Amino acid sequence: MKQLILSVAVLAVALSSSGIAADPPSAAAAAPAKPAAATASPQVQVVTSLGSLTIELNAERAPLTVAQFLKYVDQGFYSGTIFHRAIPNFVIQGGGYDADYKLKGNPTKVVNESGNGLTNQRGTVGLARPPEPHAGDVQFYVNLNDNAALDPNQARWGYAVFGKVVQGMDVVDQIANVPTGAKGPFKEDAPVKPVVIERIERVPTP
C-alpha cells in the first residue's frame, strides 16, 4: 500500500471518509512504553543528490518513532531511496521508494505518536502514513509550511512529528521546488529527475 501525506486541499474530505475520523486515539495507544534511548536528541545527516540536511530527533516526545527510524538508519535502509513527493508550501516526502519508484522492503509499522505535543510547523519532520493511523513505517516528510491540518485533534489522529531540521532548510526548499509531474505510481508531484537519498547516518555526539 502506498504511503501518503494528504494535501491540505483533500484533507477535510479524507478525514470524514477514512479510518482517521472513525478511529479516535485510545488511552493505550496514546501512552506506549518508552524504549531506552542513549540521548533524547540524537541527530542524523541526510545526504541527498541536491545537498545535505541535519535532523535533530526528539526521542523524549516520540520514542517509538525515533527508535524505529534509527533502526533503519543503522541498517542503511535509506541509501538509494528518493524523495518521491515535492509540494511547494506543503511538504517533501521520501524514504520508501527506490530510484525506479518501487517500494523498498517490507518495513515494520509503528504506533502513531501524533499526540506527543509536537506540531507540524515549518522545518519539522513527521512520519508519513496511509489513512490507517498506525500504518506508518519508514517514509518521512519535512514540513515546508506550518501545517496545522496535519496535527491531531479530539476527533482524529494526526501525523506524528518526531524531529526537526536544524541545518539545511535551504536544501529542503531546493528539493521542494524541483520540476514535478507523473512518475511511477504517482500521477503528480513526483520529481521529474529523482532526488536521491544517498545515505542517512548518525551525527557523532561530542
The C-alpha atoms of residue 67 and residue 142 are separated, in whole angstroms, by 18
CA 137 to chain centre: 9
Asked if residues 65 and 108 have their Cβ atoms less than 8 Å apart, the reply is no
Summarize pLDDT for 154-196 with one digit per residue, the tens: 999 999 999 999 999 999 999 999 999 999 999 999 999 999 9
Summarize pLDDT for 114-124 with one digit per residue, the tens: 999 999 999 99
**Hey, where are the domains in the chain?**
8-24+41-202
User: H helices within the chain, ranges in order?
Assistant: 8-17, 19-22, 27-30, 63-75, 169-176
CATH superfamily of 8-24+41-202: Cyclophilin-like (2.40.100.10)
The C-alpha atoms of residue 122 and residue 191 are separated, in whole angstroms, by 21
Cell, residue 111: 504506533
Maximum Cα interatomic distance, the chain, rounded to a whole number of Å:
48
The per-residue pLDDT for 206 is 76
Mean of the per-residue pLDDT values for the chain?
A: 86
The C-alpha atoms of residue 49 and residue 190 are separated, in whole angstroms, by 15
Cell, residue 172: 529542503
The answer to whether residue 144 scores a pLDDT higher than 80 is yes
The dihedral of CA 102, 190, 147, 118: what is its sign?
positive
Cell, residue 91: 511538504
Summarize pLDDT for 5-64 with one digit per residue, the tens: 444 333 333 333 322 222 333 333 333 444 444 578 999 999 999 999 999 999 999 999
The per-residue pLDDT for 35 is 46
Residue scoring higher pLDDT (14 or 144): 144
The C-alpha atoms of residue 82 and residue 198 are separated, in whole angstroms, by 8
